[in-house]
Amino acid sequence: MVEPKCIVGFVCQRCLQPIKLDTGFNNLGEHTLAELSLPIHTTPEVDLEAQAGSFDQYIPPFRLTDSGNGANGFTVVGEEGETESLSHHMRVRAALFDIMSGASEVDHPLCEECTDTLLNLMDQQLKLTEDEWNDYSEFLKKLEMEDEEQGLEILEKDLEDLKTEEERLVTELTQLQGRERVVQAEIAQQEDERIKLDREEARYWREYMRHRWDLLQAEDEFRSLECQLHYTQAQLSKLKKTNVFNATFLIWHSGHFGTINNFRLGRLPSVPVDWSEINAAWGQTALLLTALARKMNLTFERFRIVPYGNHSYIEVLSEHRKLPLYGSGGFRFLWDTKFDSAMVAFLDCLQQFKEEVEKGDSGFCLPYRMDKGKIEDSASSNSFSIKIQFNSEEQWTKALKFLLTNLKWCLAWVSSQFAKDEAKSLLAR
């Protein structure tokens, strides 16, 4: 069985889907097409019946058919004998769609769904137009109901007020123009005066700049001498205020270690400080205590501290024996105890310095009490031995840290006394 052939096909101009047309479009004649070409919106002067009669011999243009097959989405399929009939039907339908497209803003043909959508949009526009027409109609009725005579009187009164205001403004404008002429004359007079003053000012500034140049040269020379004097005075004042102890010895801390001039004093299992650094720290400590004692005119009993860098030592006066204030060995071993004896002797010398200071200043006290080679923390009442033997590294390091703290207090006291002496000497001058 052979399937029926598809004669003609069009596509919807909105969704581009193929549509099938009713066969009734094939029977439209040229007269009918001419009547359909008449304008939709008529005026009283146009006789539609007369125009319809004049289209009996009208041949409409074929715009869709002139564009070919591909552009408008239709195809003619058939045998040779049917080509003329199909072409005629195609032209008739194309002409009809051209007329419909030209009479509105919508391109035809349209499928059923797009037509329904278009009708819904047109219904919405029609409703909006009707609402606007109702609003305008109500406003027109409201205007017609107002009293025309009363409105006219109000307008005439407004007109009279505007005329009065205009006359007042014209009078004011005339007065202002007169004032403007007077002001323009004064401006011209003041302009001549300004020119004279500009000449005088230019002469004044020439004289001023000449004297100003001489003054600047004199001021530069004066400031140069003044800066030299201030610099010299500042250097002198700085030298007078400089404390040799504070500038030479810096006692601080680094974690669990006490430091003097950035040398750590002590050892920990987790931080095995090299013995060369410990010996250098002891040398700085010995030098500081010796300098403080010399400043106080203090001579230690039983011992004499000899600062000698990282090989400093303490001399026992009664035995003429040297105790090395440096070490090179480990902990927890029985070895030469001279290093322990030297540290105990140093602590004894520091105690003698404290007692000497207390003779002249009863309010002086150290934060940690020292006695027979041990340092006691008054806050916790714990004592820490300054010896290495039979001692832990942690406790020995803490004892050395307390030792440096006491030494720093002694340094602060001597520095304050030194500043007082300088102030007294300045006042005496």
| Tokens matching residue 420 | 């007082």
Q: Same domain, yes or no, for 266 and 406?
A: yes
Residue 180, domain member (yes or no):
yes
Question: Phi first, then psi: what are they for 276, rounded to 5°?
Answer: -65, -35
Burial (CB < 10 A; 0-12, 13-18, 19+), residue 331, is middle
Which of 156-160, 205-209, 294-298, 365-369 ranks highest by mean pLDDT? Answer: 205-209
Residue 362 has pLDDT above 60, yes or no: yes
Confidence class of residue 27 from pLDDT cuts 50, 70 and 90? low
Q: How many CB atoms lie within 10 A of CB 281?
A: 25
Identify the helix (H) or strand (E) that includes residue 321: strand 321-324
Cβ-based neighbours of 259, under 8 Å, separated by 6 or more:
250, 251, 252, 253, 265, 281, 404
Q: Same domain, yes or no, for 84 and 208?
A: no
**Greater model confidence, 215 or 107:** 215
Residue 118, domain member (yes or no):
no
Mean pLDDT of the chain: 79
Kindly list the distances between the CA atom of residue 35 and the CA atoms of 12, 51, 93, 208, in Å, as whole numbers in the listed order: 25, 8, 15, 103
**Greater model confidence, 278 or 247:** 278
Domains in the chain: how many in total?
3
Domain containing 22 equals: 10-112
Q: Same domain, yes or no, for 67 and 206?
A: no
**Greater model confidence, 375 or 110:** 375
Q: Which of 112, 147, 169 is the last residue of a domain?
A: 112
Q: Which of 81, 112, 143 is the last residue of a domain?
A: 112
Q: How many CB atoms lie within 10 A of CB 335?
A: 13
Q: Which of 76, 95, 112 is the last residue of a domain?
A: 112
| Tokens matching residue 348 | 């004894």
Nearest Cα residue to 93 out of 198, 41, 23: 23
pLDDT for 254 equals 86
Q: Which amino acid is at 255?
A: G
pLDDT for 167 equals 92
| Tokens matching residue 210 | 């000449």
Q: Are 34 and 55 in contact (CB under 8 A)?
A: yes
Q: Same domain, yes or no, for 183 and 278?
A: no
Q: Same domain, yes or no, for 287 and 397?
A: yes
| Tokens matching residue 214 | 């001489």
Residue 79 has pLDDT above 60, yes or no: no
pLDDT for 59 equals 40
Kindly list the distances between the CA atom of residue 217 and the CA atoms of 61, 206, 208, 212, in Å, as whole numbers in the listed order: 103, 17, 14, 9
Q: Which of 31-45, 86-100, 299-313 has the lowest mean pLDDT?
A: 31-45
Q: Are 397 and 267 in contact (CB under 8 A)?
A: yes
Residue 251 CA to residue 407 CA, distance in Å, equals 9
Residue 156, domain member (yes or no):
no
Residue 319 has pLDDT above 90, yes or no: no
| Tokens matching residue 203 | 């002469």
Residue with tokens 């990282």: 310
Which of 26-35, 39-48, 132-141 ranks highest by mean pLDDT? Answer: 132-141
Residue 377 CA to residue 402 CA, distance in Å, equals 8
Q: Are 396 and 387 in contact (CB under 8 A)?
A: yes
Q: How many CB atoms lie within 10 A of CB 251?
A: 20
Dump pLDDT digits (tens) for 252-277.
988 889 999 889 998 888 888 889 99
Kindly list the distances between the CA atom of residue 323 and the CA atoms of 238, 315, 333, in Å, as whole numbers in the listed order: 40, 6, 19
Q: Same domain, yes or no, for 106 and 189?
A: no
Identify the helix (H) or strand (E) that includes residue 338: helix 338-360
Residue 88 CA to residue 26 CA, distance in Å, equals 9
Distance of CA 204 to the CA centre of its chain: 51
Residue 424 has pLDDT above 80, yes or no: no
Per-residue pLDDT averaged across 316-334, rounded?
76
Q: Which of 59-68, 140-149, 169-178, 377-386 has the lowest mean pLDDT?
A: 59-68
**Greater model confidence, 378 or 358:** 358
Residue 321 CA to residue 314 CA, distance in Å, equals 8
Q: Same domain, yes or no, for 206 and 253?
A: no
pLDDT for 188 equals 92
Q: Same domain, yes or no, for 406 and 357?
A: yes
Which is it for strands 374-377 and 382-385: parallel, antiparallel or unpaired? antiparallel
Checking phi first, is residue 16 left (phi over 0); if not, alpha (psi -120 to 50) or beta?
Answer: left
Q: How many CB atoms lie within 10 A of CB 163?
A: 10
pLDDT for 58 equals 38
User: Would you give the end-to-end CA distance of the chain in angstroms?
Assistant: 140
**Greater model confidence, 100 or 26:** 100
Q: Same domain, yes or no, for 288 and 424?
A: yes
pLDDT for 8 equals 44
Q: How many CB atoms lie within 10 A of CB 242?
A: 10
Q: Same domain, yes or no, for 208 and 87?
A: no
Q: Same domain, yes or no, for 176 and 324?
A: no
Whether the model pTM is above 0.85: no
Residue 311, domain member (yes or no):
yes
Residue 419 CA to residue 427 CA, distance in Å, equals 12
Identify the helix (H) or strand (E) that includes residue 316: strand 313-316
Residue 134, domain member (yes or no):
no
Confidence class of residue 403 from pLDDT cuts 50, 70 and 90? very high
Which domain CATH number covers 392? 1.10.418.40
Residue 267 CA to residue 373 CA, distance in Å, equals 18
Residue 194 CA to residue 85 CA, distance in Å, equals 102
Residue 229, domain member (yes or no):
no
Q: Are 391 and 269 in contact (CB under 8 A)?
A: no
Residue 242, domain member (yes or no):
no
Residue with tokens 């001399």: 315
According to DSSP H, which parts of 242-271 are helical? Answer: 244-248
Q: Same domain, yes or no, for 91 and 213?
A: no
Residue 129, domain member (yes or no):
no
Nearest Cα residue to 304 out of 330, 288, 286: 286
**Greater model confidence, 256 or 77:** 256
Per-residue pLDDT averaged across 311-340, rounded?
79
Confidence class of residue 249 from pLDDT cuts 50, 70 and 90? confident
Dump pLDDT digits (tens) for 212-231.
999 999 999 999 999 999 99
